[in-house]
Amino acid sequence: MKSLNVIILIVIVTLCAETLWAQNRPMERDGGFQDRRPQRVEQFGQRVPREQLAKRIKQLQMWKLTERLRLSEEQSMKFFPRYNRYQDELTDAVQNLQKRMGRLQELHQSNASEKDLDGEIKSVIAERKNVNDVLPKYLDEFRQVLSARQVADLILFERDFLRDITDALERAREREPNKP
């Protein structure tokens, strides 16, 4: 069970990273919008907007996942709608958890009452449970299309893909002259 929680945590981190890359947080200044976040530098010095980078990572993920699971065309057509719903629900659950964690941090830093902290702690725990419940909820749907070995490959793939993307982003940050 602990290994399942670790795998779920890895999936959460993957989705959090994807969500952060996909979000656009412009700030309004002088009547116009400016993006506070630096854009990633692609090969040959071209800048790639975060939304485009997130889209490319998502495409790479689907391609690599299809390859790793050895999905037939028929399996792909059945699997990816389910997988996309799973990822959407997991992303929503992770975002809710992040909001609750942010609220808990605000309460903690503002020296809130014990009662307020206890209430928010319970909310954080409930949101963590929601995040942990997403994969088991979709397991039966995945098993309608995938073998047990393919589901195991899926779970391991998510861990490996997160590690690879995180490593690639770290290398890209190290190469950038002006690190954020």
- Residue 179 confidence (pLDDT): 53
Q: pTM of this prediction?
A: 0.65
- Residue 32 confidence (pLDDT): 41
Instruction: Note the pLDDT tens digit of each residue in 139-178.
Output: 999 999 999 999 999 999 999 998 998 898 889 888 877 6
Instruction: Note the pLDDT tens digit of each residue in 10-44.
Output: 444 454 444 444 443 333 334 443 444 444 444 44
Q: Which of 17, 89, 29, 28 is nearest to 58 (CA)?
A: 17
- Residue 21 confidence (pLDDT): 42
For residues 126 and 11, which has the higher predicted lDDT (pLDDT)? 126
- Residue 178 confidence (pLDDT): 65
* 7: Cβ contacts below 8 Å, ≥ 6 apart: 135, 155, 156, 158, 159
Q: Are 168 and 44 in contact (CB under 8 A)?
A: no
The label of the residue with tokens 């307020």 reads 116
Instruction: Note the pLDDT tens digit of each residue in 46-81.
Output: 566 888 888 888 899 999 999 999 999 999 999 999
Q: What angle do CA 65, 68, 72 make, to 5 degrees?
A: 80
Show me where the domains of the chain are located. 2-23+48-175
DSSP 47: E
Alpha helices by DSSP H, 70-147: 73-109, 114-143
Instruction: Note the pLDDT tens digit of each residue in 76-110.
Output: 999 999 999 999 999 999 999 999 999 999 999 99
